[in-house]
Amino acid sequence: MGAGASATAVSMAEELLGAKLLKGGEEVDTKTAFEGKKAVALYFSAHWCPPCKGFTPKLAEFYKNDLAAKGLEVVFVSSDRDEAGFKEYFAEMPWLALPYGERELKEKLSKKFKVQGIPSVVILNAETGDVITTDGRSAIMSDPKGAKFPWIPPTFAEALPDTFLSGEGTVEKASIAGKTLGLYFSAHWCPPCRGFTPQLAAWYKKMKPELGDKFEIIFCSGDRDEAGMKSYYKEQCEAGGDWLCLPYAVKDNLDPLFKVNGIPTFIIVSPEGKVINQNGRSLVPDGEAKDFPFAAPLIGDLENPENINEKTAICLMLEAVDAELQKAILAKMAVIAKKYSEGDEPEFVFYAATKKGNVSAQIRGMCGLEGVDTVAKNETSADDGAPKLIRSVSNATPSIILMDIPDNGGYYVGRIAAEMDGSNVEKMIADYKEKKLERKQMG
């Protein structure tokens, strides 16, 4: 994307941002817009957003004083509600912008980079288009002069400290070499954490005799002071959670690597830091040592949909389906889920609702699907007063909701065919990818 970039890199920039960008009131060619730049910040923002209005002047100041000279270019990607608002807001900015009329391209960018709120800054390598960080806002605010530009996040190994707390003592980093790790993000002041910690400690105590040196948990504190962290860690050890703890000075080192947005969070990672199971909490209390290394199931529980806001999700609504049919459906769906879930960036995530629950009920309501307790309805005919049955899909009909929350809450509803060969599910996915399905909007 920068000077001397290959044809592939140039086409990548144009594919991401289109052929033209705006600079002030003029159009510029995307293929030359980033010459001499080291990084490109996509700035997702809007005139009507108060946090954006507070952040934009700061970003402009940092850009003009230091960051542009360091090799940063910024491209404003607008979420304004009309072009007039866009133009007024862009007039305050000293960088480039995606033309307002490129709404479809804007939506693709938001979806590609999983932008859930604004202001948001995604920083890309100007040469390759590769993502440097999706939390560019924090990177810039913590380093406005660009001393660490282009803010390449540390590797997992680099983020780990040389020593960990271990009870009242310490151990060296070498003690976790080769181990599968459970990263427990939690804090003393958090009521759900205080409820979950004893359960996790009991589960760990049960696992330890069988797993031995294969598995270790590391407490990553969100406490507000070191005394609070140490007090909470002592409680954990006394409850049976005699695991390790990040020292207070580096307690936040792992948060950005694993996109921790709330606590308690329990993530299972490989010795190299690759995520094995983003939703390790689902292992507690019933997970067994035989399930090690605790990989995430191909089809998760819809009551705990970890990535549903960031990924396109296939939701199997089976609450009122009998157990044998559920088993048959899940076996067939697991084959399909494996196909689409492979790789570091799976195309889809799969969830199943196998019994009534709060989340499944909410999803049915948002997507206009019959509730589990829906029964056939009657109404009186205006002609003869005879009851007339209104056709209603049985609550026992196995259904699919393809939820595309990253697409501003789009969804698609289908049914699982009686033949149970999975062909209609595959067809629904294929039609979705080819934009042949009727998009509906969550209510």
List pLDDT tens digits, range 235-282: 999 999 999 999 999 998 898 788 787 899 999 999 999 999 988 998
Lowest mean pLDDT: which of 108-122, 180-194, 339-353, 379-393?
379-393
Has residue 379 got a pLDDT over 50? no
Instruction: Return the CATH architecture of domain 157-291.
Output: 3-Layer(aba) Sandwich (3.40)
Has residue 62 got a pLDDT over 90? yes
Instruction: Characterize the bridge pairing of strands 265-269 and 180-186.
Output: antiparallel
Question: Is the peptide bond prior to 119 cis by the omega test (within 30 degrees of 0)?
Answer: yes
Sequence spans of domains, the chain = 7-142, 157-291, 300-441
Instruction: Name the residue with higher pLDDT: 359 or 393.
Output: 359
Has residue 437 got a pLDDT over 80? yes
How many residues does this entry show for the chain? 443
pLDDT of residue 11: 65
Q: Calculate what percentage of the chain has a pLDDT beyond 70.
A: 91
pLDDT of residue 257: 87
User: pLDDT band at residue 55, thresholds of 50, 70 and 90?
Assistant: very high
Instruction: Return the CATH architecture of domain 300-441.
Output: 3-Layer(aba) Sandwich (3.40)
Question: Is the peptide bond prior to 346 cis by the omega test (within 30 degrees of 0)?
Answer: no
Has residue 234 got a pLDDT over 90? yes
User: pLDDT band at residue 395, thresholds of 50, 70 and 90?
Assistant: low
Query: With 0-12 CB in 10 A as exposed, 13-18 as middle and 19+ as buried, what is 387?
Result: exposed
CA distances from 123 to 1, 130, 139, 151 (A): 13, 9, 10, 9
Same CATH topology for 7-142 and 157-291?
yes
pLDDT of residue 248: 96
User: pLDDT band at residue 393, thresholds of 50, 70 and 90?
Assistant: very low
Do 307 and 267 contact (CB within 8 A), yes or no?
no
**Mean pLDDT score of the chain:** 89
Sign of the dihedral through C-alpha 252, 255, 260, 261: positive
Q: Calculate what percentage of the chain has a pLDDT beyond 90.
A: 71
Helix 323-341 vs helix 423-433: crossing angle, to nearest 10: 40
pLDDT of residue 383: 45
pLDDT of residue 314: 95
Has residue 344 got a pLDDT over 70? no
List the one residue out of 116, 157, 107 whose CA is nearest residue 135. 116
CATH number of 7-142: 3.40.30.10
* Residue showing tokens 């809450």: 409
* Across 39-56, average pLDDT: 96
Which pTM does this prediction carry?
0.73
Has residue 376 got a pLDDT over 60? no
Lowest mean pLDDT: which of 159-168, 246-255, 355-364, 381-390?
381-390
pLDDT of residue 347: 83
Task: Write out the two tokens for 149.
Answer: 């530009």
CA distances from 240 to 206, 233, 283 (A): 9, 11, 17
Lowest mean pLDDT: which of 89-103, 282-296, 307-321?
307-321
Has residue 408 got a pLDDT over 50? yes
* Across 47-68, average pLDDT: 96
Has residue 375 got a pLDDT over 50? no
Lowest mean pLDDT: which of 103-117, 218-232, 297-311, 412-426?
412-426
User: pLDDT band at residue 315, thresholds of 50, 70 and 90?
Assistant: very high
pLDDT of residue 306: 76
What distance in Å separates the CA atoms of residue 410 and residue 442, rounded to the nearest whole number? 6
What distance in Å separates the CA atoms of residue 150 and residue 416, rounded to the nearest whole number? 48
- Alpha carbon dihedral 390, 396, 397, 398, in 10-degree steps, equals 150
User: pLDDT band at residue 34, thresholds of 50, 70 and 90?
Assistant: very high
131-167 pLDDT per residue, tens: 999 989 989 998 999 999 999 988 999 999 999 999 9
The three-point CA angle 349-300-271 to 5° equals 85
Q: Where are the alpha helices (DSSP H) in 313-357?
A: 323-341
* Residue showing tokens 């293929």: 31
pLDDT of residue 117: 84
Whole-number CA gyration radius for the chain? 25
